[in-house]
Amino acid sequence: MSIRTEICIDSVEGVLAAKEAGANGVELCSALLEGGLTPSYGLVKRAVAVSGNVDIQVMIRPRGGDFLYTEEEFCSMKEDIIALKCLGVEGFVFGLLDADGSVDISRTAELIELSRPVAVTFHRAIDMAYDPLSALDTLIDLGVERILTSGHSPNALEGAPVIHQMVKRAKGRIRIMAGCGITPNNVVRILDETGVNEIHFSAFEKQAGPMLYRNNRVSMGGTLRPPEFDRSVTSTYRIDGILSAIE
């Protein structure tokens, strides 16, 4: 079975690393500490320019936190899709829920229509839904092409039984992609136990930044204070590790 690989990235360098390693696609985000937010127009444009045969899927998410959006947040999501669709991306990734934990049907349908002819992935908002199998049925009815899920669990290995249920229930009507916590040590087990043929993972490693002068008394963030002069970069070596495990 051919396995499709997608790398979660936040930079043009991440596209190049995925391309060099032979990954099929990337999910392009910003603010990965927030779980991924909408990337800038300039970042998307440059990513597409260097992508070659790597599919570019773009996150549409205006803020971190839950997936119950205000009207203004929803309007910003629509404007982002309109602005970014013309850049030649292969897909958009978003997820919207109602307060009761069900899929926000009307707004999801509106974003799908606005995205066309670009494909749509409903992201791990489904893992925050009250009933992921019912949400799956709704997304099939809406015409979503793909779902990214950890099986309603903290990671794909723990959620493997639910992901397997989703694959069986989908019956090929929608693609199921397993994601979260995938490593070279567990990827084969996840594939075997879920029955998916698409996986989503990050491949970051810490890299010291090139700044010579460093004021370590100041942080540009809030209460979470990652090292100000370190960078998280997508590693070709780490991608290779998972691809080699699959092979």
Q: What is the pLDDT of residues 148-187, one digit of tens each?
A: 999 999 999 999 999 999 999 999 999 999 999 999 999 9
Across the chain, the runs of DSSP E, i.e. the strands, are 4-9, 25-28, 55-59, 91-94, 119-122, 146-149, 175-179, 198-201, 204-208, 230-234
pLDDT bracket for residue 117 (50, 70, 90): very high
Residue 22 belongs to a domain with what CATH number?
3.20.20.380
Please write the tens of the pLDDT for every residue from 128-151: 999 999 999 999 999 999 999 999
Q: What pTM, to 2 d.p., does this model score?
A: 0.90
Which H/E stretch holds residue 17?
helix 12-21
- Residue 138's domain comprises 4-246
Provide, rounded to the nearest whole percent, the portion of the chain with pLDDT above 90: 79
Give the chain's largest Cα–Cα span: 57
Count CA atoms closer than 13 A to 25's CA, side-chain side: 19
- pLDDT-derived band at 15 (thresholds 50, 70, 90) equals very high
If you average pLDDT over every residue of the chain, what do you get?
93
Per-residue pLDDT averaged across 185-191, rounded? 96
- Measured in whole angstroms, the distance separating CA 168 from the mean position of its chain's CA atoms is 22
3-state secondary structure of 205: strand
Q: Is pLDDT above 70 for 48?
A: yes
Regarding predicted confidence, which is higher, 208 or 106?
Answer: 106
Number of compact structural domains in the chain: 1
- Please tell me whether residue 191 adopts helix, strand or coil conformation: helix
Q: How far is the C-alpha of 201 from the C-alpha of 184, rounded, in Å? A: 11
DSSP 8-state assignment for residue 84: H
